[in-house]
Structure 1
Amino acid sequence: MKPSPQPSPANRALEAAQSALAAEHAAVYGYGVIGARAASARATEARDAHGAHVARRDALARAVRELGGAPRAAEPAYALPYEVRTPADTERLAAEIEDRVAGAYSDLVRAADGRLRREAADALSAAAVRAARWRGVGVAFPGLTERR
């Protein structure tokens, strides 16, 4: 049995960029829900995070095109992991969204190089900071929490 060929570095970067783009699409949707239900004290933070994810999403769409791909479109809706009813639910959801985004950027950091890798590292760091703010505590290795 022949081993299957490994994807080229360019293909790995494109696949990771597409995955990060998908995570950003989901984050934009999730923050729409969060913004509608967040406590007034956290509403500005939710709006700022939403704007940051829109900007990252748009930058990733450009990066995917630069890598020779067609950016994946957002889904019409995303399933939330639980019903969001209370301000505490919104904070928990925001932290989970940031953890997922950090995981996607962690993969992109490993797959990319140059400018895209630096941008992915910046996005990973920003997601980890937002997750810590929403959660009230940070994690030792942001982007790797889902891989346990």
Structure 2
Amino acid sequence: MTALDAAQAALAAEHAAVYGYGVVGGRIGTERRPEARAAYEAHRARRDALRRTVRDLGGTPVAAEAAYALPFPVADPAGAVRLAAVLEDRVAGVYSDLVRAAEGPMRREAAAALREAAVRAVRWRGSDVIFPGLAERV
């Protein structure tokens, strides 16, 4: 996988995360709403940075879909928390690929994004995984 391919995949994952956090925000309990809002804003910032990265690599940034299929119905705060953890796990996975494909500052930035997603996933899930970004691939 090239750095451009991995950056495009990360951008697509960030588009999906932004969409997913819209659902999370609509279903999350009031006590965790600030956490959901902060995650939403973090993913928007990463998405915008990845658009620039893709352009810098000579690509045309992948566009967001009009809607995304959720992995399960989200009808209540518990489902919103579960969705948030899944979103973070998925984002960590694509950043893991970008870490492998990139070099220099891009690699450091991808590693930071992977770490941030893993920390958010732990906060949502209440437990950690041994190898963040690789958990879904085992």
- What is the TM-score of this pair, normalised by structure 2? 0.99
| Counterpart pick for 2:67 among 66, 77, 90 | 77
The gaps in structure 2 that reach 5 residues or longer are none
| Counterpart pick for 1:86 among 69, 73, 76 | 76
Measured on the aligned residues, the alpha-carbon RMSD in Å equals 0.7
Look at both structures and tell me which one has the larger radius of gyration over its CA atoms: 1
The residue type paired with residue 63 of structure 2 is A
Pairs aligned (count): 138
Match of 1:31 in 2: 21
| Counterpart pick for 1:137 among 127, 132, 135 | 127
Cα distance in 2 for partners of 1:141, 1:41 equals 29
Match of 1:3 in 2: none
- Residues 3-82 of structure 1: matches in 2 within 5 Å? 12-82=2-72
Identity %: 68
The residue type paired with residue 110 of structure 2 is A
The gaps in structure 1 that reach 5 residues or longer are 1-6
Listed one character per residue, the Cα deviations across residues 97-144 of structure 1 (whole Å, up to 9, x for unaligned) are: 000000000000000001110000000000000000000011110000
Cα shift at 1:146: 1.1
Match of 1:103 in 2: 93
